[in-house]
Amino acid sequence: MLAAERKATADNARRDEPDPAARQSPQGALDYEVLGPLRVTGPAGTSSVTSRKAETLLGLLLIRAEQLVTTDQLIGELWGDFPPGRAIASVHVYISQLRKLLRQAGTAGDPILTRPTGYLLRIDGDRLDVHAFAHQSRLGRACAKEHRYEQAATSFNSALALWRGPLLGGTPGGPVISGYATWLDETRAECLERLIDAELVLGRHREAVGRLYSLAAEYPTREAFHRQLMLALYRCGRQADALKAFQTVRSTLHDELGLEPGIELQRIQLAILKADPLLHEPMATC
């Protein structure tokens, strides 16, 4: 049955293809947001996908924007190894729902292109928050490399402000979405780490302490946040709390992974015990 449905998809590909003259224009540009619950904003307003399957499908098309996503990949993402008998027909229904959603948002054309083996989402002049996040993160790294830490902090904050929650609001997905969500979380954590480094260079250790306690709890085995917390506490004159933070992460690493803290954590613990004046130097965090 799946083979017959695939043949029907290939036969109908040209008929389903949108008119090239109706492709999106800047006037019909959309804002796609996946860093949190999926939202689509266009000239007609903001729309949300009510069907979880359709939301997963649009999410997959967005993270693979401008790339062909085969019907088999869509089915695997939606149902795993046990798709229903009429899985391809269901995919067609979800695609139809998404096209309607995008029209309601005010798109000037049909950005979902049908291909013989699947679908492709064109974003042309549209905006995707993941791309904006990546751009601001790259800009922040470039500024930090040039020792322009104020600009770096601004860029990192702009990148992080785009996050409204986990990818697609935590909607369960298949292997592609799950893998992408893991990569995004790592990228976000790296951005946070670089932001804190910039803030510490700028002497904002007091402002950083509260955020670092939260980050240390959110990422209990990510040593960088614990190192930054220890440094920030020490610079605030809280030597005992800095050493307590070391003992906390040491216990966590030992209990959960059977490991001792890494060399960077050990170095900053020793420096704190010695009251090393270099810990107050702005570049000590880098």
Determine the pLDDT at residue 125.
Answer: 75
Token pair 């270099």 is found at: 278
Fold observed for domain 2-126: Arc Repressor Mutant, subunit A (1.10.10)
What pTM value is reported for the model?
Answer: 0.84
Low-confidence ranges of the chain (pLDDT < 70): 1-28, 283-286
Cα–Cα dist 183/180, whole Å:
5
**Structural domain boundaries in the chain:** 2-126, 203-286
The reply to whether 2-126 and 203-286 are identical in fold is no
Determine the pLDDT at residue 27.
Answer: 58
Determine the pLDDT at residue 44.
Answer: 87
Determine the pLDDT at residue 89.
Answer: 96
Determine the pLDDT at residue 283.
Answer: 58
Radius of gyration of the chain (CA): 24
pLDDT single digits (tens) 66-87: 999 999 999 999 999 999 999 9
Fold observed for domain 203-286: 1.25.40
